[in-house]
Structure 1
């Protein structure tokens, strides 16, 4: 059997386009894995890097219990929004109008002098976004019995803000600039904010116009989605039957910066923002701890780190080696934690992307294979897919070391031997 290419995006269950996510994979891929492994409805799936919630959404559609964790509260919000079900298009549009009407008529006092949104917006605009968020969280408007309803409208607000921050976008789709001074901050007309909010609601709510029950209905309570660090899971030992996931790629993408407007809406200030960046696997920040190579990481990892250390380019040994050491240290800790919670004879399906540092090839799939081998995880299936739509090809400087490359996405399916 050949699995669906993880990076060939689809929308077979709806909602995939609510929040496009570079690091995500296809719904069809998750569905294929569930069928390939013959995962039963009485078993439990875990995605410790749940991202935009594809794993938990597809598992719920198939009536399978799942846990989806992520360290980024923006992604937790997005994943929870996809659990929304059994609601009509008309109901969502009415609720959006009610949120806008309450917000536009409100004269509540909100201090925005230190608001994180001030990184882009002037006070009047920050004030309007704060009011919208207030009424989205108002339980007198949104019925909390509809699981994911608050998160649905938070994602609408995310999309509204991102759409209106066009002046701050860059050529890198995962990066957004901030205003360097008050003069660069923008003031968005109140009516523009509200009209965009309603337009984004309509766009997302169209999923619920479908008569297809597989899109409109989802099994309530089948998905537990929460903030959690993959290095310290809130799960009992030997409690998970199957893992379907994709760990953070070693491609130096700063997912905290890419979600900085959304984090600001959620109230993350400079301090909490910096703390989250430092805790992310693959962070570009040098964390205040000494990480050194461990034999547990395998010979392929050792060879790669040694090549980085000896590379003649500036800062290879001083900076880049440290970031890679941090990455592998955190990755190994996470895999060790997955081994703790995975049952004997359980499976782990892991999607990874191989990449480059300068001209040095990083075979991440082989490194993970060597890391989990001592856990007695036997490789039962492997498939490679080519992917030319990578951010490394956006970076013109990287072409000094190599031409435009096609990266390899590798699907590794392991079974934990007893």
Structure 2
């Protein structure tokens, strides 16, 4: 498949794609779109930054255009669920750009905004509703939305929805949709619970996978710095100073930690902002806008708040704190090397985080190259990767090593409350 025109999409869509500068589909789009146009349920697996939004958005819009029914009051013809406000906004913006020349309406409902305004918005109905599960449940409880006419369901970043405990919300929402329906589930990772979710909500799905779960984007160069925890602030500032104009996304583990780190950077003269669960939606939107435009060059974030950031210009991702859930590392570093660009992911690993690093390396089946410090004796990843030179994407490091059990083996990493 050489370009979008070979897919048989509606002329309005191909025109919108051409005006937006899209000419060639990405691998996930190449595989998923034809199957979705045929009406199959889709289980799509691909790392972040590979074009999943268009992979489900294009066939969804195409099928809605083919049946130009007007949405009834308080109803939606299609429902897209995403775990965070930022991701909902990103998806909706992409879909609005594609439907600009049509009569299709795209609406969003998320927490942190006036629910009364959202009730009024839904009163006249919408073609595509993009929502976070929690706020959608609130609106359902108020009888402000009727999902019985929806014949399309998309679960985007489904693994993150599971991590955030939205499984109970999904169990309430999904049965309210009309039948028969087409369901598409997209995820960057495939934990066991995801397989259970797919069996529960998808019917004879076609599996589309363009890279193994747990694999980083090919153009991400990874490295790890071993250091004392007290050395992290100074090391972060060294990293920021070496390329002061570059967009750098810094991940902290907690909301309090992210805010404290950001204030310290600002006090030292760095152009920084933060996004986390204690920030209002307006504050988060303004920070992301400033980061995208380059007026803010350092954005400190928690995992949940940063999900949905789609900014091709992010040059560096710094894991100031390693995540307690290994899959989140893959999501974090997927914020760079987007839209075909290259990027660098740097992990700062304190002594009490070595076990977390081992779990990440086991998931990715690599040994992340060491940039500074010494790898602790006994820390290792699968031995079959030894002896291979480091390459982009965090490929195995140069020296051989033996496999050793990760710290805390047999215990699941403790998950904190969503930020």
Same-fold call, TM cutoff 0.5:
no
Question: Which structure's residues are more often helix, by fraction?
Answer: 1
TM-score (norm. length: structure 2):
0.31
Q: What TM-score results when the alignment is normalised by the length of structure 1?
A: 0.31
